Each structure stands twice: as structure tokens, then as C-alpha cells.
Amino acid sequence: MAGSSVVSVNPARPSERVAVYTAATHEEIDAAVARAARAQRDWATLPVPARAERIARCGDVLADRKGETATLVAREAGKILQEAGGDVQEAIDMAGFIAGQGRAAWGTTHPCEMPDKIGFTTRHPVGVVGMITPWNFPVAIPSWKIFPALLAGNGVVIKPSEHAPACCESFVDACREAGIPEGLVNVVHGFGETGAALCSHPGVRAVSFTGSVPTGRRVAASAMESGPRLVSLELGGKNAMVVMPDADLDLVAEGAIFGAFGTAGQRCTSTSRLVAHRDIAEDLVATIASRAAGLRLGDPLDTSIDVGPVIDRASVERIHAMVEAATAEGALVATGGTIVEIPGCDGGSFYAPTVLTGVTRGSPHRPRRSLRSRPVGHRGRLLDEAIETVSDCEYGLSAAVYTRDVNAAMQAVNRIDTGIVYVNAPTIGAEIHLPFGGTKHTGNGFREAGSRGLEQFSEVKSVYIDFSGRLQKAQIDNRETIKASG
């Protein structure tokens, strides 16, 4: 609600406030969009390599501030320090990559159907981009959106998650210190209502959203209702790891632990399903469960900790309800399944790393921050059945296959319907110079980062230059004449 307080707390110790902002009113959103539009007009006149230089400087300032920003990420988003540093590093890397894009190809050239004529494409800014970002990568995800949007010549208004507003402010502050012009990047705070007002604002020409499926659908509907806009959505995943019987099981167990419980299982790429051949399933689950049970939970600022809290108490309750619903349906808890109290972290939102077995395919109980395992079939049909199981899911973000058999690996790569596939590595860890995004309910066809990261923030113009000096009629069936004169 406009005017109410946006208070972020340390999820490990919720009595500790991290930051307080005021939710933006409609007038404040109007003012932010107007500021961005004004600043964008000048910014768009800068040559692309000059924009790129400023973005490179953002990377330098972020690198100078890496330690303090990582501490803020740990305090506000609950990521353990190493992961918090990785979050900031992703933004630094993104600055470097996008700066490089400022001197790379800006379009493509094409031969034309007629002589003395050439076609090429070029990019133009859309104007002001509205962004809504989550708390799980509170520095990296703003960087995936803001740097390409700026390189493309746009202004920005961003509404970060109410759980991690200070991380976004700190990122934008680094951009200002690096010389991004005043007013070009604006932060508005608030809850769903603020996001909705931003996305449907008449001055916002493109919307980039990362978050849940229901919110993403609402964002897209309200953005399109009030006028044509580019809308890009990244809506998470329910990512599976397929283990073939020939896999290196030690590597699998290590990968499953990192993929499922790294970042407290809260990456949208986190491993939440394990599909293993029944010959190896029992031993594998036992190994993973015993390693999961050995993970140390606690204050993310304590460097001896493996797993921090989930973002808030409501998430803990939701995860627990899902585990209970799964067990009521016959799933077994191999480890975890409990809310954990950590001494010195009063009211902290900790949930034990959890492994469920015997979850039926298609079960609605797909708890976040737990790993559910399902053994699959006879040797011949193993890959088919595993791929069917992986596909039996509304999302299509990331998947992993563990095998030493190159044919099985390539079959899986070709046939698994996700935007990202790993071979012999867990489902998390996408690098910023490759496209990021997924199929089905995970998104709407756009990709962030990588070579396609500019698409959601620019309009492409096709240009034809005819240097023949005469009228060459197009879409007239004149092939014979062209051949004769060419």
C-alpha cells in the first residue's frame, strides 16, 4: 500500500531491521518514470561504446565495494557469505560482459534479392523500462536487467522485492558513483500494488519481471491491458537431476547437495527432483540424505555455516505444509522435514535440508528447499522414462544429467524440454554470458543475459539500402528480369 513502510529484516534474526523505506505513491511512481524518461533522452544520444564505458565503471565500483555489499546481501537476503559474494561477483561479471557488448555487433547484415541493395538490422532503445526483481539474487538479477537496458539506451525504474530493498539501493548507488547519470536509474519501493502500478504506467515501454508464475501472469496481463509493451517474464523452475546407472555416484551426491541446498534451495535453478535408476536409487538416497543431515545451518555471517535461513517465516510454514502433504500421500522423509531453531537466531526462518523419497510423479507436492527422489525403470527404457519424468512438470528452466555415456548425455541434452541443461554438473550455476531462461511456464520466450540479453530491452530495425539508382520492385514476380540485369 502506498505510503506504508517497507521494512527488511535479517531472516536469521528477524528482530534485526536492515532497512526501512516508504512504499511509493502513484505520484512518486509518475515522478520516477518522468525522471527516467528525461535522463534517457540524453543517454540515448551517447554512442554505444561510451555507454559501455560507464557500465564498465559500474563493475569497478561494485568490485571496490564487494565485501560490504556481500555482507548486506547476507544480512538482508540470508545468503551465506560465500554465496553473497558470488551474487555480487555475478553483477561485476555482467558489467564486464555488457561493456564488451558495447563494441560487439549491434545487428546483422544480409544480402538482398535484388542487385546493388543491402539489408541490415540495428537496435534502438524502447524508452523507459520497468523492472521487478526478486530477493534471491538481490544484486545479480538487477544487474542482468539494468546493464543491458542501459547499454541499449534506456532509462530504468526498478521495484525490488520488499525482502531485499537495500541490496538494490546499494547496487544503484554504485551505478551512480560510477557516473550513470542522475535520474537514469530510479528505485521505487513497495509491494504488489507498486509493481502493478509501475508495469501498467503509460510511460513504461517495456517490463522485465522475475518472480512467481501467478504474479508474472498478473504483471503481463496488466502490462498488456494498458498498452502494447515488451514484457519479459522469468518465472522459476522445478529442476530435475537425472542419474544414469553408470554415473560417478560420488559426484552425483556432491552435485545434488550443492544443487538442492545451496542458497538454501531458493535459486530458481535449485535442484528439487532427483530421478535415478532403481538399481542405484537406494544407496544414492542414503548417501545424499546423510550428507544433507551433516550440513550446518545457522547465521549466514558465520563462515563455518553451510546453509542459511529461507527468506521468512511464512516460507518455512509453506515448506513444512508441503512436506506434510507429501508424506500424507505416502512419501517418506529420508532426512529433515523439520523446522529448526538455532540458538542465538531467535525467530530465524530455518528449515532442515530435506530429502523425500517415493513422491509420485505428477504429485502437486513439490516443496521448495527439499529434494524429492524417484526411482525409474528397466535399463532399456531408462532414459525415456527419466526424460518423461523430467518433462512431467509445468516448468522448463534447468535440468541435469549425470552419466559417463556420451550418447545418453547427448540424447538427454536434445530431448529434455528446458532452457538450460547440464551434463555432470548440478542444475544451478548458469554463467552470465550464456542465455538464461526456460520453456513452458518458466517464461515467455525471452532470455536474459548472454547474447540475447539485449532483446527484451531494444527494438530491432531492419534497414534496406538500394544503391542501384533505379526503382527495383519488390514482391513482384520478376526473378527472370533480375537475373538478366544482375
Q: Catalytic amino acids?
A: 268
Build a one-symbol-per-residue string for 266-305: x at contacts with ligand UN1 by CB under 6 A, - elsewhere: -xxx------------------------------------
Looking at residues 357 to 376 of the shown chain, list those that interact with ligand UN1 (rule: CB under 6 A): none
Dig out the grid coordinates for 154 from the structure: 534506456
State how far the Cα of 28 lies from the Cα of 223, in Å rounded to an integer: 19
**Nearer to ligand UN1 by C-beta: 102 or 142?**
142
Segment lying near ligand UN1 (by CB under 6 A), choices 215-223, 240-248, 276-284, 427-435: 427-435
**Nearer to ligand UN1 by C-beta: 137 or 351?**
137
From residue 480, alpha-carbon distances to 114, 275, 445, 470 in Å are 11, 60, 40, 17
Q: Nearest residue to ligand UN1, using CB?
A: 430
**Nearer to ligand UN1 by C-beta: 23 or 70?**
70
Build a one-symbol-per-residue string for 384-423: x at contacts with ligand UN1 by CB under 6 A, - elsewhere: ----------------------------------------
- Residue 429 sits in the site that holds ligand UN1 (CB under 6 A): yes
CB of residue 367 to ligand UN1, shortest distance in Å? 17
**Nearer to ligand UN1 by C-beta: 183 or 453?**
453
Q: Are 330 and 356 in contact (CB under 8 A)?
A: no
- Residue 209 sits in the site that holds ligand UN1 (CB under 6 A): no
SS (H, E, C) the chain: CCCCEEEEEECCEEEEEEEEEECCCHHHHHHHHHHHHHHHHHHCCCCHHHHHHHHHHHHHHHHHCHHHHHHHHHHHHCCCHHHHHHHHHHHHHHHHHHHHHCCCCCCCEEECCCCCEEEEEEEEECCEEEEEECCCCCCHHHHHHHHHHHHCCCEEEEEECCCCHHHHHHHHHHHHHCCCCCCCEEECCCCHHHHHHHHCCCCCCEEEEECCHHHHHHHHHHHHHCCCCEEEEECCCCEEEEECCCCCHHHHHHHHHHHHHHHHHCCCCCEEEEEEEHHHHHHHHHHHHHHHHCCCECCCCCCCCCECCCCCHHHHHHHHHHHHHHHHCCCEEEECCCEEEECCEEEEEEECCEEEECCCCCCCCCCCCEEEEEEECCCCCHHHHHHHHHHCCCEECEEEEECCCHHHHHHHHHHCCCCEEEECCCCCCCCCCCCECCEECCECCCCECHHHCCHHHEEEEEEEEECCCCCCCCCCCCHHHHHHHC
**Nearer to ligand UN1 by C-beta: 28 or 448?**
448
- Residue 435 sits in the site that holds ligand UN1 (CB under 6 A): no
CB of residue 482 to ligand UN1, shortest distance in Å? 50
CB of residue 413 to ligand UN1, shortest distance in Å? 17
Please tell me the count of residues contacting ligand UN1 according to CB under 6 A: 9
Segment lying near ligand UN1 (by CB under 6 A), choices 75-83, 115-123, 242-250, 426-434: 426-434
CB of residue 393 to ligand UN1, shortest distance in Å? 17
**Nearer to ligand UN1 by C-beta: 90 or 455?**
90
- Residue 428 sits in the site that holds ligand UN1 (CB under 6 A): yes
CB of residue 144 to ligand UN1, shortest distance in Å? 8
Segment lying near ligand UN1 (by CB under 6 A), choices 99-107, 294-302, 425-433, 455-463: 425-433
CB of residue 112 to ligand UN1, shortest distance in Å? 41
- Residue 315 sits in the site that holds ligand UN1 (CB under 6 A): no
Please tell me the number of Cα atoms within 13 Å of 401 on its side-chain side. 27
Long-range contacts of 406-410 (CB under 8 A, 24+ apart): 408/244, 408/383
Question: Is the torsion defined by CA of 446, 451, 453, 459 positive or negative?
Answer: negative
Build a one-symbol-per-residue string for 251-270: x at contacts with ligand UN1 by CB under 6 A, - elsewhere: ----------------xxx-
**Nearer to ligand UN1 by C-beta: 114 or 393?**
393
Build a one-symbol-per-residue string for 41-80: x at contacts with ligand UN1 by CB under 6 A, - elsewhere: ----------------------------------------
Looking at residues 81 to 110 of the shown chain, list those that interact with ligand UN1 (rule: CB under 6 A): 90
- Residue 430 sits in the site that holds ligand UN1 (CB under 6 A): yes
User: Which residue of 8, 101, 136, 170 would you call a contact of ligand UN1, by CB under 6 A?
Assistant: 136
Q: Please name the residues in contact with 286: beta carbons below 8 A apart, sequence gap of 6 or more.
A: 334
**Nearer to ligand UN1 by C-beta: 28 or 90?**
90
Q: Which residue do the cell numbers 541490415 mark?
A: 120
CB of residue 241 to ligand UN1, shortest distance in Å? 14
**Nearer to ligand UN1 by C-beta: 233 or 268?**
268
CB of residue 239 to ligand UN1, shortest distance in Å? 10
Dig out the grid coordinates for 386 from the structure: 527419466
User: Which residue of 97, 137, 171, 402 would you call a contact of ligand UN1, by CB under 6 A?
Assistant: 137
- Contact footprint for ligand UN1 (CB under 6 A): 90, 136-137, 267-269, 428-430
